[in-house]
Amino acid sequence: MELRCAVQKYAWGKTGKSSLVAQLAQGNSTAPIVEDDPYAELWMGTHPSGPSVIKSSNEPLLNHLLSNVDSLGDEEKKVFGTDLPFLFKALSVAKALSIQAHPNKKHAEELFATRPDLYKDPNHKPEMVTAWLGPFEALCGFRPVADIKFFLQEIDELAAVVGKSACEALVKAESDSEETQALRECFSALMNTSEESVASGLKQFEQRIPSLSAEKKDALQCDLFTRIATNFPGDVGCWSVYFMNYVVLQEGESMFLGPNVPHAYIFGDCLECMACSDNVVRAGLTPKFKDIDTLCSMLDYQAGPVDRFRMQWSTVDEFCQTCSPPVPDFGMARLRLPASATVDKAYGLPVRSNASILLILQGQATSAETKEDLSFGQVLFLKAGQQLTVQVKGEQDLIVYQAFANV
């Protein structure tokens, strides 16, 4: 079944046809692209904040699942009930998203029970991000403590905002436990500093940057800092550059972000798959509500290089790969069929025991089962056990990403 999917026009999205999301939306619906509008996210799934509908009937996908429970796999239903456990997205990021983290399942239930106006569902939100169409920039997890110490010693304005006692505690920390506690105190002190002090420190550092040598600017990642500070003047989240790892994912590379991992996407296009939730605890780079106390208390303060978040894809055959994050809510597969496969060759996607959603990211093909053409931007729902066999058309390789429950 082909789906029509919701577009989210958040302010940080790329505008008009420059946005991958807008391009996908054009292939997914008849609505015209508005060039001045931001097209931030395409949601594929059943989440009530952006539910997909079946193209042929306009019926919400969730309603279809509730009346056709055989569409879901037996293990999927046993673990998750009669709804899809995952939410599949495409993102087009023009400027940084908020400094944020997602609660674990127990914490999400507590937040939903006590503050449903802010936290809209009781589910956790582990997620996997995969770069598409060029480099994708993000901040992710706390840097190695040695790096943070270096920045605190080199950037007087940052040290002043954090405070002398917190900085000294981190510099003097020796054991892993001492470093973790000192890092918690430093980051919490930063986030709880008055807006006036934060803005003053940022302005002073921005004014000092032009006088630094090229080597020093590079060492202090001034280009990255300036880009973010330009979009979010006076925001405490600008200082997060010096606490969190900066990572650039190349096309096809992936990261997994578990509960309580601080992160912020900065620029680029990506695909995301996550548990079916929209719970976000924010504390910077956003005009939305900043729940600083909750964020600082819940964060994973384990420090280290960003490679610990990277995910590896496994080869199924010459055309297909899969990736299995350490959660049952979702897994992913991707298919790349070369245009040269058009000559008397059809490819059957591996049959899944659970329901799945497919997004066509490039190329054209014909379905052997329905004889219908498939093309860029189309989103398909396959019920558990359903076969899809495709034959490439045209001169482009066919690229498809697929999301499904990982049970």
Give catalytic status of residue 352 as yes or no. no
Q: Is 263 annotated as a binding residue?
A: yes
Between the alpha carbon of residue 341 and those of residues 171, 268, 318, 361, 369, the distances in Å are 59, 30, 12, 17, 18
Residue 178: which residues within 8 A CB-CB, separation 6 or more? none
User: Strands 314-315 and 254-257, how do they pair?
Assistant: unpaired
Q: Is 107 annotated as a binding residue?
A: no
Residue tagged active-site, from 4, 282, 334, 352: 282
> Binding site for Zn(2+): residue ranges?
100, 102, 127, 263
Q: Which residues are part of the catalytic machinery?
A: 282
Write out the binding residues.
Answer: 100, 102, 127, 263
